[in-house]
Structure 1
Amino acid sequence: MTPDQAVQKLKALLDDSMSDVKPPLKYWDAWPNSTEQDGGYATASQDRYIMTKVSKAKFGALLGLLERSWKAKGYHIARVNPNQPAMFADTPDGSSISLTVGAADNIAFEASVSPIPVIRGRDPFGTPTPQPTMSNGNPDMIPKYDDPFWSSDQPAPTPTSSR
């Protein structure tokens, strides 16, 4: 696939993963990048940083929601890390998507697709756009927006079955 097609597919994976998350989360997308592989091709990936504060009490609800959503889409849950919340899934077409929770309770999605051609000497995705940074110059990945549901320390309601 071309780099442009890869960007479209990355965005679709990220958007599709967040489509079932209600209420919606605020985020920003990092510039896509490519990593050369041994087989003479590259893998394209893109991060999406969640800027809505999600309380620890809601991590399980978010991961459970995504697990159900990803499985319903035919994704294979490849790995789950309950100690530092994270979940990794593969799509039927060989792409991948993950959600990880960082040490500062920051949440990031990452989508990966391949193969794309190896392009040297320039960014295969064009000229990077400026991204939010902190005062130290690092990417700003620390959530700062409150949400009545996601930021609350109240546990998410347990789903009940209807009879």
Structure 2
Amino acid sequence: MSRAFLYATAAVAVSFALSSCADGGKSFAGSGGSEMNMQEAANRADSILDDTFSQVHPAVRWTHGPTTTGSCDVTRRRAVMTIVSAQRRGSFLGVVDRSWRNSGYRMKSINSDPDVPAMFAQTKDGFGVSLIVGGEGQVFFEVDSPCVEESEVAESTTKATAPTYEGMEHIPRPNIRSPFWSAGAP
């Protein structure tokens, strides 16, 4: 991952963590008024990511990024391993934007930079959702939970659709070609 992506991701994570934990560390009351713990928040984050990827047609291949936890929040990440060409990047972003808006997410910010675009949204239940295009056009997704009750967090049970690159220090650049997403024509 590039330094710019890491800095941008860190800044986003800090801003979401600060905004989601502004209640002084009290537990988040999810839908139905029940308290949610970090594992339940991680499961919800997986569901948000699963829903997003299910709206992308043709499907892209992705792998898990690291799961991180804070004092009262959890973050799940995925990296797209399908090459999304510069010519198809706008279409990809449009598909995700429509998916999030149709799900009732509030769009918080959109960076329209042609080389490193990004989108930031928030779900009705307070989860921060982001898409950042990093080096060589690699697309990264991240879901940050609001402040929830502390608990252990297991790795995601959602099966990645690309190799998992276990034991490697970094996820490699996208390396899977798609007749549609990798095409050089808009």
Please state which band the TM-score falls in when normalised by the shorter chain: 0.7 to 0.9
Provide the alpha-carbon RMSD of the alignment: 2.1
Supply the distance in 1 between the matched residues of 2:51 and 2:97 (Cα, whole angstroms).
Answer: 13
Supply the distance in 1 between the matched residues of 2:53 and 2:101 (Cα, whole angstroms).
Answer: 14
1:4 — aligned with what?
39
What letter corresponds to residue 177 of structure 2 in structure 1? D
If the length of structure 1 is used for normalisation, what is the TM-score?
0.79
**Cα pair 1:50 1:141 within 8 Å, conserved:** no
The structure with more radius of gyration:
1
What letter corresponds to residue 29 of structure 1 in structure 2? H
Deviation at 1:112, TM superposition (A): 1.2
Task: Identify unmatched segments of 5+ residues in structure 2.
Answer: 1-35, 157-163
The aligned length equals 143
**Cα pair 1:57 1:154 within 8 Å, conserved:** yes
- 1:65 is matched with which residue: 67, 84, 95? 95
- 1:28 is matched with which residue: 45, 52, 63? 63
Hey, which of these two has a bigger chunk of strand by percent? 1
2:82 — aligned with what?
52
2:127 — aligned with what?
95
- Local SS of the residue matching 2:183: coil
Deviation at 1:150, TM superposition (A): 0.3
What letter corresponds to residue 151 of structure 1 in structure 2? S
- With over 3 angstroms needed to count, the CA separation of the structure-2 counterparts of 1:127 and 1:20, relative to structure 1, is closer
- Local SS of the residue matching 2:93: helix
**Cα pair 1:106 1:141 within 8 Å, conserved:** no
Hey, which of these two has a bigger chunk of helix by percent? 2
Does 2:146 match 1:114?
A: yes
- 1:138 is matched with which residue: 165, 169, 183? 169
Supply the distance in 2 between the matched residues of 1:152 and 1:127 (Cα, whole angstroms).
Answer: 34
- With over 3 angstroms needed to count, the CA separation of the structure-2 counterparts of 1:118 and 1:141, relative to structure 1, is farther
2:4 — aligned with what?
none
Supply the distance in 1 between the matched residues of 2:141 and 2:49 (Cα, whole angstroms).
Answer: 7
**Cα pair 2:38 2:150 within 8 Å, conserved:** no
Task: Identify unmatched segments of 5+ residues in structure 1.
Answer: 37-41, 156-163
What letter corresponds to residue 75 of structure 2 in structure 1? S
Aligned structure 1 segments of 4 or more residues deviating by more than 4 angstroms: none
**Cα pair 1:54 1:105 within 8 Å, conserved:** yes
Deviation at 1:108, TM superposition (A): 0.5
Deviations 1:89-148 (A, max 9, x none): 1111111211100022111000111223346xxxx32479xx5168xx532141110000
Deviation at 1:45, TM superposition (A): 0.6
**Cα pair 2:37 2:150 within 8 Å, conserved:** no
Supply the distance in 2 between the matched residues of 1:126 and 1:19 (Cα, whole angstroms).
Answer: 23
